[in-house]
Amino acid sequence: MKSFACGDIIPGCGATFGAADDDGILVQTRRHAVEAHGAAEPGTDSDPRVRPHIHDV
Ligand SMILES: [Zn+2]
């Protein structure tokens, strides 16, 4: 199981995500980046920022 807390890279954001693997996290964080943080579709620009902060739980 993997987890990611958006607040690790965007202070003040309380969103957290859980999935079986990294790809499962990234599917969610791409959508979150677009919907919550105004990232350009499809949100994949956030991947390199998110990946180092995905933790095993
Ligand atoms: Zn966020």
User: Do residues 46 and 25 make contact, with C-beta atoms less than 8 angstroms apart?
Assistant: no
Q: What is the per-residue pLDDT for 37?
A: 98
> Residue 33: CB partners within 8 Å, gap ≥ 6?
39, 43, 45, 46
Q: What is the per-residue pLDDT for 35?
A: 98
> Ligand 1 center to residue 48 CA distance, Å?
15
Mean pLDDT taken over the chain? 98
> Ligand 1 center to residue 10 CA distance, Å?
6
Q: What is the per-residue pLDDT for 36?
A: 98
Q: Mark the ranges of the chain whose per-residue pLDDT is less than 70.
A: none
> Ligand 1 center to residue 21 CA distance, Å?
19
> Ligand 1 center to residue 50 CA distance, Å?
10
- Tell me the domain boundaries of the chain: 2-56
